[in-house]
Structure 1
């Protein structure tokens, strides 16, 4: 399987996020490894491989400008092939913890971190089994509906922490469903890669809609 190259427009998009040429080269190494492993295990949808840069790498990297200043720890839930958590770690996010219970995907993440010289902590356990991590930022992509995501994320948020969740066209419906059991401040940011998608930036996450 041929490794798709980033187009000039995609490289310009990454540069617009402040990504250096050297970092783009590390992302290229990551992409090449993913394509090689994809032949053995299903890391991403096969039909998305030709659009790997836009569908996965840039989709993940668009969170980079929205990371809060001074964030000291990022936890990525259900990392899979590393989207968005490993991409953000390659871009420079500090103390990134990748939570992925699938052992084969965990092995891929370790190899991807090694070849890109990216320091990360990989937790090959179910989210519910992990002690609180005190994250300033929690990320997730294509993992679960928002109410369930919040139940998983809340125990790991540090005071003042926030969530950045990549969501598809159902984002508004998920916010409505979550409001039944959660008090959240939210901002909906249009996705740069999916005209129907959004980044949900969630702050002040508390269980119980009627809490002050």
Structure 2
């Protein structure tokens, strides 16, 4: 199926509004998050300066599309290497699901907490630690926008997965190459979706307990 690309800020906003039937409060939260992101970017490098003029396409819609791929899943969403809250804070604005933002850098965690506090996102928890130090808990969804190469990402996060866990992993133009580098039992758990925000980017969407697949291979 061909995906219609979002090529302008107006198209990105229109798609988000249609896909999620946003309330006035959610629009206000997204607008404020976008403003805080730009403001904070002057203090620490959260996003490439060249992407500020296309913020809604490159970052807001790019994050929101992951929630659209998640279907009607409920339960804990863990966002690995959340950085400036992409996609975690965007998903938290669009959905009331509990959200765990894992980020090891203190200044970025300070920003995540500031946004969650100002936007009254009480369902957001910020974990300021490397993933290896985070207590294991079952995740309904695991996302990672720019966390680690696929094999390392899986090795570090599989303990959070269950048979029903949905994996949402934007991997740019290297998605297929990274997927093909995985052991065969893992490859079969994923399929590739075209990004709505970049013709050259793809998203790996998976389902299941990768750790169980690994044990079954032994």
TM-score, scaled relative to structure 1:
0.90
Which is helix-richer, 1 or 2? 2
Map 1:130-209 onto structure 2 (within 5 A). Answer: 130-179=134-183, 182=186, 184-204=188-208, 205-206=210-211, 208=214
In structure 1, the residue corresponding to 2:189 is in which secondary structure? strand
Conserved? CA contact 1:165–1:200, under 8 Å = yes
**Number of residue equivalences:** 207
CA deviation string 1:122-157 (max 9, x = no partner): 000000111212101000102211111111220111
* 2:26 is equivalent to residue 20 of structure 1: no
Pair 184,127 (structure 1): closer, same or farther in 2 beyond 3 Å: farther
In structure 2, stretches of 5+ residues that fail to align are 1-7
Pair 209,50 (structure 1): closer, same or farther in 2 beyond 3 Å: farther
In structure 2, the residue corresponding to 1:117 is in which secondary structure? coil
Conserved? CA contact 1:168–1:198, under 8 Å = yes
| 1:183 CA drift (Å) | 5.6
| CA distance in 1: counterparts of 2:96 and 2:143, whole angstroms | 12
CA deviation string 1:6-34 (max 9, x = no partner): 84322211112124142122100001111
CA deviation string 1:93-148 (max 9, x = no partner): 41100000000000000111112111200000000111212101000102211111
Conserved? CA contact 1:183–1:209, under 8 Å = no
Conserved? CA contact 1:19–1:91, under 8 Å = no
2:86 aligned partner: 83
TM-score, scaled relative to structure 2:
0.88
Q: Which has the higher contact order (CA 8 A, sep 6+)?
A: 2
2:105 aligned partner: 102
Conserved? CA contact 1:76–1:99, under 8 Å = yes
- Which range moves more in the overlay, 11-20 or 97-106? 11-20
In structure 1, stretches of 5+ residues that fail to align are 1-5
Conserved? CA contact 1:74–1:93, under 8 Å = no
| 1:211 CA drift (Å) | 2.2
Conserved? CA contact 1:30–1:115, under 8 Å = no
In structure 1, the residue corresponding to 2:163 is in which secondary structure? strand
Which is strand-richer, 1 or 2? 1
In structure 2, the residue corresponding to 1:172 is in which secondary structure? helix
